[in-house]
Amino acid sequence: MTQDNSVNSLSSAPHGKLIDFEHAEIRSTQFNDEIYLYVAGAKPEDGWQAMLAPRIHHSVPDYADVEILKVRSRQDIKNSATENEDGYQLSIPINSIKGSKGIMLIGANGDKVIDI
């Protein structure tokens, strides 16, 4: 059983809505020691874009929460998403946000614990 971090953290995108994800994994780069969380899923409906939103924690949790959200599309939102008719692909560096054991990805279709 994992801990519930939601009472000890704040959303970094409070106006977002949780969406489903189909695949999530950790990847490392060959160029540096950075590791990335990669997530893919179905494209949100028109007028919305997918984003990964790490929750803000007051201390280092065992598993840092990262929400997969849809937010209203805006030109000024910086997003690492690749979207096409088939869906979205997102990535974020996680060295500075991971918990002491890993990441908990939170989506509308459930949570996924990823040990690091």
pLDDT tens digits along 42-61: 999 888 889 999 988 888 89
| pLDDT-above-90 percentage for the chain | 53
Angle at CA of residue 10, ends 8 and 11, nearest 5°: 140
Label the pairing between strands 17-18 and 63-72: antiparallel
The answer to whether position 103 is within a domain reads yes
The answer to whether position 1 is within a domain reads no
* Number of domains present in the structure of the chain: 1
- Report which of residues 63 and 83 the model is more confident about: 63
Residue range of the domain that includes 54: 6-115
Rounded to whole angstroms, the maximal C-alpha distance in the chain is: 40
The answer to whether position 34 is within a domain reads yes
CA–CA gap between residue 26 and residue 36 (Å, rounded):
6
Q: Looking at the whole model, is its pTM more than 0.85?
A: no
Distance of CA 75 to the CA centre of its chain: 20
